[in-house]
Amino acid sequence: MRKATVSRKTKETDITLTLCLDGSGKADIDTGIGFFDHMLTALAVHGGMDLAVKCRGDLNVDGHHTVEDIGIVFGKALSEALGDKKGIRRFGCAYVPMDESLARSVIDLSGRAYLNFDATGLSGMIGGYDSSLTEEFFTAVCSNAFMNAHIDVIRGRNAHHICEAVFKSFARALKEAKKVTGDDIPSTKGSL
């Protein structure tokens, strides 16, 4: 079972996250930000992962530290759970619509951290969630999981729909990339 639990405690946040890559989409999320809980639940469900997140953050300031630090911890857990990446598909791509919005995520579990994020139209507050933090979350995930991701909003007007399409497309691409399809490490170098 590819699984990891990572904890992180700073003056700004106290987080414990458990990730099981070979789960069934179970989610137990408590970040203190309702819409972000909804997005992390979508990440688990559409990524075919079990995800538990408990976070106490300095929400009296704003949600930035909470969202970014959960991205850090999720990225570390993903890296740990993937292990040596033997047999994984490595690459994943998904398009996801949400009403008028359409997002595409293309990822490579390459061992190299990079994010290209183009989310025109994603701005403003969605409940208590600052939608501009979406890029901060995925930057932290990619940096700490050592993965490459290109996340693009192809079209959209409603911030809720755009954000949901982004999280779901990333989840579907990750579901494809983390899938075990063989016994070899998928790299000409012999390691990832």
Give the C-alpha distances (Å, rounded to integers) separating 102 from 37, 42, 70, 143: 21, 16, 25, 25
* pLDDT (mean) for 10-15: 98
Taking only the tens place, the pLDDT of each residue in 109-146 is 999 999 999 998 899 999 999 999 999 999 999 999 99
Does residue 49 contact residue 15 with C-beta atoms inside 8 Å? no
3-state secondary structure 2-63: CEEEEEEECCCEEEEEEEECCCCCCEEEECCCHHHHHHHHHHHHHHCCEEEEEEEECCCCCC
Angle, helix 64-82 to helix 34-47, in steps of 10 degrees: 20
Q: Which residues fall within 8 angstroms of residue 186, CB to CB, at 6 or more apart?
A: 85, 88, 89, 90, 192
Q: Go through the domains of the chain in sequence order and give each one's CATH number.
A: 3-177 (3.30.230.40)
| pLDDT tier, 59 (very low <50, low <70, confident <90, very high otherwise) | very high
Taking only the tens place, the pLDDT of each residue in 74-114 is 999 999 999 999 999 999 999 999 999 999 999 999 999 99
- Which pLDDT does position 187 carry in this prediction? 77
Phi and psi angles of residue 97, each rounded to the nearest 5 degrees, phi first = -90, 150
User: What counts of helices (H) and strands (E) characterise the chain?
Assistant: 4, 10
Rg of the chain taking only CA atoms, in angstroms? 16
Task: Tell me how far apart the alpha carbons of residues 41 and 49 are, in angstroms, rounded to a whole number.
Answer: 10
- Which pLDDT does position 188 carry in this prediction? 76
Q: What is the dihedral of CA 156, 158, 161, 164, to 10 degrees?
A: 90
Neighbours of 75 (CB within 10 A): 23
